[in-house]
Structure 1
Amino acid sequence: MSNTTPATSHADPPTPSDRSGRRFSRAALLRGAAGTTVGLGLTGSSLIRGTPTASAAPTVHKIKDLTGPGLTSAYQMEATDLGIPTRMPDGRMIFIFGDSFARTVGDPDWRSPTALFSATTDLAAGVTWSGAFGGDRAEQLWAYQHDNPEFSTVLPSDVITIGGSLYLHVMVNKGLGNVVWTEIWRSDDNGGSWVHTGAKFDAGRDNGLFQLITWGLGDDGFVYVYSTGFQRDKPIILHRVPADRIAQPDAYEPWGYAGGTWGWGNAPTPVLEGKAGEMCLRPMGGKWILTWFDAGNYRIDSMIMDTPTSNLYEADRQTLIHGGSWGQEDDTHVAQLYGGYIIPGSTLNDLHLSVSQWNTTEGAGNWPYHVMQFRVQGLG
């Protein structure tokens, strides 16, 4: 990679198109939709805005590509994205991927979600793979037909380990960005098999702000959930749910502003305005950290806070990786980036992320469409 700062701005990214040639794809959402942000008048988050704090800028380096030819060819998934990780009960890591193909986007063996396993302990040396769900070939985690009359694909939001089980939240889409519902699946055998929990959430829940989620388990027995829409043009809201009721939609309690104060059980109020994309919330080192794709500013940011209910406008916020232009990338500028998930084993001072990239420029052949590993030092 060069050390040249991208010459073009996020205002003029490549124009993407989906597999059928329509101007609509995950990459098309990288800019975030134009429009006004959700306003709250003189109540809600307008009352909690402060001056964001920022510590010294961290050092960011790309470690390696995690997927692609020669890296995931053995699992017949060279083209894939996301790579959302968690530590499994047996100590290994599982990474959950989105739309996956043997060679290139649009191949007939479309699968999503898929999963790879890793026993890596030295993150600085780079994550390596020890196997795939399905064996030699990375299979879809459960059977369904893509582009069926009801929906087109199922995309993962986040995965969490609670006790001896993994819980995976997914978005059921009919055309990317058009969520028809979301649901939770569970594995009780370290990702070897998956069953539907029965939890199903309407896409219009909380005015469409409970579609794309991220979650983390607190030491108080609650799972804290940040969520937004899957259009990259909406703010973030907060819920909590008892860990033992994670598969009960009516157990999710919103955090909101009412009667001059914030509290649980109030109608959800945005805790962070903007145009949020993929997010990753994790407890770490006695704090909480959120990493997310800030679509409105075309970059991946991080925020360290005391608790998920902290004032996010006063939290320590850093930009980790800027969006860039093709041919003008370096360790901190990546073209058509998204994702940004925290890899288990990270610390606040030595953070590792899985970051996605999809080249949708004409003539590029939808490549790269892959996942990379980045290291962030000195954040905390």
Structure 2
Amino acid sequence: MLMAVVFRFSFPFRASASESEKPPVQVVNPTPTPTPAPKPTPAKPIKKTVVKSPFSLLQFDTRQLSVKNPDVSVKWSSSNQKVCTVTDGGFVQAVGGGTCTISATKTNSAKNSIITYSWNVTVTPLQLNTTKLTLIRMRKGAQLSLNNSNATDSAVWSSSNNNIASVSGSGFVTPHATGTAVISAKWNNATRSCTVQVKNATPTTLTRFRDPRYLSNRGKVVLAGSSLLDHWEDPYTPFGSVAVINNSVPDSTFRNWNNWYKKLIVAYQPKALVLCLGTDDIGDGPDMSAERAADKMQKLIEKIHKKSKKTKIFYLSLPCYPKNSAAWETTRVYNRLMHDFCDEKKYMTYLPLTLKLTDEDEIPDETYYKG
């Protein structure tokens, strides 16, 4: 038997409301992004330039510079690295000749300031006191020096030809033979040179024999010797109307006068000869004992007398120079030996010049000396 089953379903639902009954749609505007406030324009830093006192350096010299408040940022610089270098700590070294500006820029953030300090620097290059030198063979030498006081004694000195001119460790040049040599001084990897020309002695007084004015003085008074008589400012007035010719040659030695005496003395056949020689052999020249110097002087006098027997010879004693105290004792002994020699010769007269230039203790009176 068939049975009909009826299923009833109940679906809870709500009838759609009319459009007029729908709730209003709320429009929500998004929150606007706030516009950031403009950043304030930073104040420009205060800039200032301070010019410091200029200074000079010699090549290879150094100097420490400083600024106030070194704890803040400081930047050091040189406008010319070939003239001066400077470290981060302000240590300046002169490396070459010329001019440059050393600057120190100090930045202070707290005070918003930039201060630049500047120093103008002049550097004098390393150089010798001369680059050319003329010396006379077998005569006095000359002192070379570098313009940096630390350099002369510590430099390495050398000669290109020691047979012509040699140089000591302190730069003293001694001439030996005619020719040319180059003297060099090396210091701090820098080398400076001087060309030395060595000549034979040719005194200008030799030209006098060609001048009739001098030849007319034959038979009068001749002055002969080295610097002492040559520096006699007025050797003529003391002799009154007697004709005088001063044939002295500065820095001349016994060796020189053995070559010159015939022309500078004997040729005149003078009535009187005033002679002073030996200063440039004792002390200033090569080491020479008083005995050896006196022997050379006496032999020269005897040669002069042999060629000019009527000439009366007046010998001036040698002075002791204040700046050459090492030669004083040798000079005193030399004078005593020459005094004894003059006493033995009828044609000789000894003039004790030294006594007039020293005090009672035989110490030179510097008021009588120049330089």
Q: TM-score, normalised by structure 2?
A: 0.23
Answer with 1 or 2: which has the greater Rg.
2
Answer 1 or 2: higher relative contact order, Cα 8 Å, separation at least 6: 1
TM-score (ref. length: structure 1)? 0.23
**Bigger helix fraction:** 2
More strand by proportion, 1 or 2? 1
